[in-house]
Amino acid sequence: MSSDSTGALPREGGPVSRVRAALLQKRTRPGEHAYTVLRWGGAGLFAAVVVALLISIAASSSQALAHSGVGFLWSGTWNPAAGEYGAGILVVGTLLTTAVAMVIVVPIGLGTAAFLSELAPGWLAGPLSTLIGLLAAVPSIVVGLWGLIVLTPIFANQVEPFLASMPLLGWLFRGEAYGPSILLASVVLAVMTLPTMVALSRTALAAVPVADREAALALGATRWQAVRKAVIPAARSGIQAAVTLAVGRAMGESIAVAMVIGNRPALPTSLTAPGATLGSAIVNQFAEASPGLGASSVIALGAVLLLLTVAVNAGGQALLRSGGGHRAGTAGALR
Amino acid sequence: MITRPSARGWKNTLVGLSALALVSVIAACGSTSGGGSTPSGSATATPSPCGSNTVLSATCDTETQASVTLTGAGANSIEPFFETVFYEYNQKNSRTTVNYSPAGSSVGVSDIQQATVNFGDSEIPMTSSQLSAATGGTVLQIPVDLGGVAISYNVPGAPANLKLDGPTLAGIFDGSITNWDSPLIATVSGVSNLPNLAIKPVHRADASGPGYDLEQYLIDTAPAWVTAIGTSTPSRTWPLATVGIGEQLNTGVATYVSQTSGSVGFVEYGYALQNGFVNAAILDAAGAYVAPTEASIALAGAQAANLSSTNFNVVNETGAGVYPLANFSWTLVYQKQSDTTTAIALGKLLDWVVTTGQQDAAALGYSPLPANVASLAQKTILEIEGSTGTPLFSS
Amino acid sequence: MSVASAVSRRELVRAAAQRSLTRRRINGRIAQALCAVAAVASVAPLVALLYYTISRGAQVLSWGFLVNAPTPPGIPGGGISTAITGSAEIVGLALVIAIPIALLAALFLFERSGRLAAALRFSADVLTGVPSIIIGIFAYALLVLPLHAFSDLAAAFALAVLMLPIMIRADEEAMRTIALDLWEAGIALGARRGRVARSVVLRGALPDLVTGNLLAIARAVGETAPLLFTLATPVAAMTLLIYTDGTQAFPIAQETAWGTALVLLAFVLLLSVAAKIAAWRISRRAR
């Protein structure tokens, strides 16, 4: 693949690039007008929706922000009954649950994708990936109910005490085992975002040209080394998109999280303590969505979540750009 | 590789998909979806004892002439009662269908404020500021049922109807009492062999009527609670969310209590009855410990001598055998209805609910409305106006 | 160098290479085993969920369940037909809105570089993180409040807004990974951009476009929050019915919720399989 992570088409030097530049003349060639209009129309409609959403969120949350000031973003008290609206604790909860969920999802998702794409026999890979894709369709309410009814007792009675008793890591899981907790919410989030990670990573891995793999094998790599050193790096941008979508889903999930996180707006003292996220607070407060401070604070939470997503996305992209914008693996040399 | 691709396959799929979409749209429009499909007005105008169709009485409440579908939204706690009673009504009068969405009292209030439903329902009447925000004019508030809040607990080895009072409950829910074998609980309940089990209090994470009631009770009886929450006005949102666990709706709390030993939470009594919960006996204003039953809740409602939408509190009433945690549920409708046919259906439905419909209440964990409250309800229904702006009904 | 030392050096090198190969092979085997374990771990939650859903919902499943209109809990003979048709209608409408816009926007991003495209791509990434409940409130403010009525259109709009950023990103990734060279070749041969896009990019990337879009569709079909704000009654859509019935006190209502969940899963499975088959046949013809 000759694309980098930002632009449409590459910009190397040399005679090839001049041909490319000629191909990419910006002026519309005859007969392309309708298509160009369509493209711009589609992009424009999407941009209009984004702008309308942003304006709607900003307008609706202005009352809450005026009431609490900018401190809304990091103020540590979320107590709507007392009229105190501060999103700080909720931001911590959101970041914590997303991070733990990604710690679970990224290795398992990538490993599954590698299995499906490279290592599994053909008759197995197709049906298996359809099945995993089916998990994406399970309504969040069903996952939440299942988490509440099935997972909560297991976590309260077996999993959490067991984790707390582990020699070194037990410290992370100390405290009274209620069941609903940051950990349980992270596991539920992991279940919900796994299909996205697997499906998109698998697409990315499968799209790496056979030549890359063969080149690695020809150089003496074992099958796994070819996958690890040649295929996965070549699929970097696709895997990045998968992680981005998974993170986005995890940060924004509301109903399922609210059912299994315990809804305690306080700084969690351990992973097995109950907590609260922006999404769960929104779902608990949404009923107060009548005009007024209550409704405005709900939407202000949405605005905070949006800002958080922006920050996480920007940070992730910057990280990846500095880590390796150039192409690794055998494919890079050939392009 | 750029062969001339077959366009047929591409177009075939497009045609197939759009045909599928078209068919499903047609099918959906054809099936019943909101609003009756039969034309309004009966085929033959048989002379009925109900005069001009606007008489409210036991027989005439089920006589309407047009097919109407009513939509309502509101309290989660009244849901078992409403579902049953609306179905019963539909059996007697198939022309009126009701769809009720039990998303919570606050949703009921905001939906009626925005006039997106025919009626709302709330466990707490609307405040004056909420009433002034209603876009369709004056809102009538009609008491339609009487329910109670059970304090349910799951403690293996504990007796049924454990005696608890305000300060003890406050201690449990503010985190100062952390174990079931605490001497404070032993003193109040008289049971000294409760197990050494951590208390796991569970409250409503969303806004709730039961939470409001419990808060009112704790404010009335436990000064420590007032100090802890810093106010003496109850609110629908639970004030001490940093203690214990919060769950959604009555079923969320009920599920947690039923599966977690050591837990204690508050649910609408109807839900506690359905789940076979063990409920605490709460200290009432007369000094006795009363468990929630249909009878003790009815007694609480009977104390409501001057009930109105501004004087609606029946928590911690004085009287023998009165259950301290009870409340009425209030249905919200606009006084001025823009469509007379809908108004007739609505008025007759509500009148039936507060009279004949109350027979369904007891089996579901609610209590029938006391006589004075039922007549208040009926009086309020008589204030409904049709599109002409004059009161519509007569009794 | 003496012959003996040359031979011994060769032996040393061979032994080292052999050790390296063995080590790399063992590492490889361990890694492959771990990947297989990961795959099992991925399927396990689905199996557990399916098992639980079937055990709760199977007893209500019947032909009548699918075709009858709902009745209150405890009354026999009820079904979820209105919810099924409602969901189909709403999702169908949402797809009609979202798929063309997503494809066109993805083509836009695919062909352009520069700050505008980068900004659009970034906002799509960010938008995937907006909670569905906020999108529901947005649709409520835009389409329900002004008209003073809940509607299927508002619900479809909310779902479309939910799906759009996911589809756009997934579509663009699919186009980029599959069809970049083909696109260049097509342009180089002088074909018009629209022609190239239609016949080469879309057709070539179709299976992966379908995969990415199916993910978005599956997610939208399973969403409850946007529907809470835009639909009048619980029986208008399956997920809303699951939410309302699943949180009721009556056990029969809860069984209905799980039965509805099963129907929903079957719905999505059929959709996935049908779409995949269609994509496979189209791309096969292109060869």
Which pLDDT score, from 0 to 100, does residue A16 have? 53
Least confident of A32-36, B13-17, B148-152, B172-176: B13-17
Taking residues A153-160, report their average pLDDT.
Answer: 87
Please tell me which of the candidates A80, A149, A178 has its beta carbon nearest to residue B200: A178
Digit-coded pLDDT (tens) for C100-141? 999 999 988 888 878 888 899 888 888 887 888 888 888 888
Q: Which residues of A touch B132 (CB under 8 A)?
A: none
Digit-coded pLDDT (tens) for B298-353? 999 988 888 888 888 889 888 889 999 999 999 999 999 888 889 999 999 999 99
Which pLDDT score, from 0 to 100, does residue C73 have? 56
Please tell me which of the candidates A53, A204, A224 has its beta carbon nearest to residue C31: A224
Contact B260 A152 (CB under 8 A): yes
Which pLDDT score, from 0 to 100, does residue A227 have? 81
Residues on B contacting A at a C-beta cutoff of 8 Å:
103-107, 109-110, 113-114, 130, 133, 198, 200, 205-207, 229-231, 235, 237-239, 241-248, 252, 255-256, 259-260
Question: DSSP per residue over A1-26, as a string?
Answer: ----SSSSS----SHHHHHHHHHT-S
Helix (H/G/I), strand (E/B), else coil: A179: coil
Position A161 confidence tier, pLDDT thresholds 50, 70, 90: confident
Please tell me which of the candidates C200, C235, C286 has its beta carbon nearest to residue B99: C235
Contact C246 B251 (CB under 8 A): yes
If you search the block for the tokens 């931001």, which residue do you land on?
A91
Convert A191-230 to b/e letters by CB count within 10 Å (16 or more is b): bbbbbbbbbbbbbbbbbbbeebbebbeeeebbbbbbbbbb
If you search the block for the tokens 């609610």, which residue do you land on?
B366
> Is the pLDDT higher at B395 or at A51?
A51
Kindly state the tokens that stand for A159. 């999993």
Closest alpha carbon within chain A to C188? A23
- CA-nearest of C56, A218, C249, A255 to B274 is C249
Residue C81 contacts B, CB cutoff 8 Å: yes
- CA-nearest of C7, C56, C132, C66 to C267 is C66
Contact C74 B254 (CB under 8 A): no
Digit-coded pLDDT (tens) for C38-93? 989 988 988 899 899 888 888 888 887 887 777 665 566 677 888 888 888 999 99
Contact A328, A208 (CB under 8 A): no
Percent of chain B beyond pLDDT 70? 87
Mean pLDDT of chain B: 84
Digit-coded pLDDT (tens) for A239-273? 888 898 889 889 988 889 999 999 998 888 888 89
Helix (H/G/I), strand (E/B), else coil: A153: helix
Which pLDDT score, from 0 to 100, does residue B296 have? 93
Mean pLDDT of chain A: 80
Those chains having 3 or more beta-carbon pairs within 8 angstroms of chain A are B, C
Contact C164 A241 (CB under 8 A): no
Contact B260 A153 (CB under 8 A): yes
**Apex B104 CA angle, B101 and B109, nearest 5:** 90
Contact C249 B254 (CB under 8 A): yes
Position B133, amino acid = A
- CA-nearest of C257, C211, C216, C202 to C234 is C257
Residues on A contacting B at a C-beta cutoff of 8 Å:
78-82, 148-149, 152-153, 156, 176, 178-180, 258-259, 262-266, 274, 276, 280, 283-285, 287-292
Which pLDDT score, from 0 to 100, does residue B172 have? 95
Percent of chain B beyond pLDDT 90? 41
Convert B149-184 to b/e letters by CB count within 10 Å (16 or more is b): bbbbbbbeebeebbbbbbbbbbbbbbeebeebebee
- CA-nearest of B159, B123, B148 to B323 is B148
Digit-coded pLDDT (tens) for B43-76? 444 555 676 677 777 778 888 888 888 989 888 8
* Residue C227, pLDDT above cutoff 50: yes
* Residue A124, pLDDT above cutoff 50: yes
Contact C249 B115 (CB under 8 A): no
Minimal C-alpha gap between B61 and chain A (Å): 33
Contact B24 C246 (CB under 8 A): no
Select C66-286's CATH number: 1.10.3720.10, 3.40.50.300, 3.50.50.60, 1.10.8.350: 1.10.3720.10
> ipTM of the assembly?
0.80
CA C268 to chain centre: 10
**Domain A72-322 adopts which CATH fold?**
MetI-like fold (1.10.3720)
Taking residues B229-233, report their average pLDDT.
Answer: 88
Which pLDDT score, from 0 to 100, does residue A60 have? 82
Which pLDDT score, from 0 to 100, does residue C287 have? 53
Which pLDDT score, from 0 to 100, does residue A239 have? 87
User: How, if at all, do strands B200-204 and B263-268 pair?
Assistant: parallel
Domain ranges of chain C: 3-49, 66-286
Minimal C-alpha gap between C63 and chain A (Å): 22
* Residue A329, pLDDT above cutoff 50: no
Structure letter (DSSP) for residue A313: H
Query: What is d(CA B290, CA B321) in angstroms, rounded to the nearest whole number?
Result: 6
Minimal C-alpha gap between C96 and chain A (Å): 13
Digit-coded pLDDT (tens) for B255-271? 999 999 899 999 999 88
Those chains having 3 or more beta-carbon pairs within 8 angstroms of chain C are A, B
Percent of chain A beyond pLDDT 90? 21
Residue B276 contacts C, CB cutoff 8 Å: no
CA C101 to chain centre: 17
Digit-coded pLDDT (tens) for B238-259? 999 889 999 988 888 999 999 9
Q: Which residues of B touch A156 (CB under 8 A)?
A: 260
> Is the pLDDT higher at C181 or at A243?
A243
| Interface mutation target, options A145, A244, A290, A309, chain C, most CBs of C under 10 Å | A145
Contact A149 B259 (CB under 8 A): yes
Please tell me which of the candidates B110, B229, B245 has its beta carbon nearest to residue A262: B245
* Residue A40, pLDDT above cutoff 80: yes
Sign of CA dihedral A81, A83, A87, A89: negative
Which pLDDT score, from 0 to 100, does residue A291 have? 58
Which pLDDT score, from 0 to 100, does residue B59 have? 78
Contact B111, B117 (CB under 8 A): yes
Minimal C-alpha gap between B79 and chain A (Å): 16
Largest CA distance in chain B: 92
Minimal C-alpha gap between A228 and chain B (Å): 31
- Write out B76-114 in H/E/C secondary structure: CCCHHHHHHHHHHHHHHCCCEEEEEECCCHHHHHHHHHC
Which pLDDT score, from 0 to 100, does residue B149 have? 94
Q: Which residues of B touch A148 (CB under 8 A)?
A: 247, 252, 255-256
Digit-coded pLDDT (tens) for B80-136? 899 889 988 988 888 888 888 887 888 888 889 888 889 999 999 998 888 988 888
Which pLDDT score, from 0 to 100, does residue C159 have? 93
Which pLDDT score, from 0 to 100, does residue B43 have? 43
Q: Which residues of A touch C226 (CB under 8 A)?
A: none
| End-to-end CA separation in angstroms for chain B | 84
| Interface mutation target, options C221, C250, C276, chain B, most CBs of B under 10 Å | C250
Residue C96 contacts B, CB cutoff 8 Å: yes
- Write out chain B in H/E/C secondary structure: CCCCCCHHHHHHHHHHHHHHHHHHHHHHHHCCCCCCCCCCCCCCCCCCCCCCCCECCCCHHHCCCCCEEEEEEECCCCHHHHHHHHHHHHHHCCCEEEEEECCCHHHHHHHHHCCCCCEEEECCCCCHHHHHCCCCCCEEEEEEEEEEEEEEEECCCCCCCCEECHHHHHHHHCCCCCECCCHHHHHHHCCCCCCCCECEEEEECCCCHHHHHHHHHHHHHCHHHHHHHCCCCCCCCCCCCCCCEEECHHHHHHHHHHHCCCEEEEEEHHHHHHHCCEECEEECCCCCEECCCHHHHHHHHHCCCCCCCCCCCCCCCCCCCCCCCEEEEEEEEECECCCHHHHHHHHHHHHHHHCHHHHHHHHHCCECCCHHHHHHHHHHHCCCECCCCCECCEC
Phi, psi (rounded to 5 degrees) for A138: -65, 125
Helix (H/G/I), strand (E/B), else coil: A268: coil
Residue C234 contacts B, CB cutoff 8 Å: yes
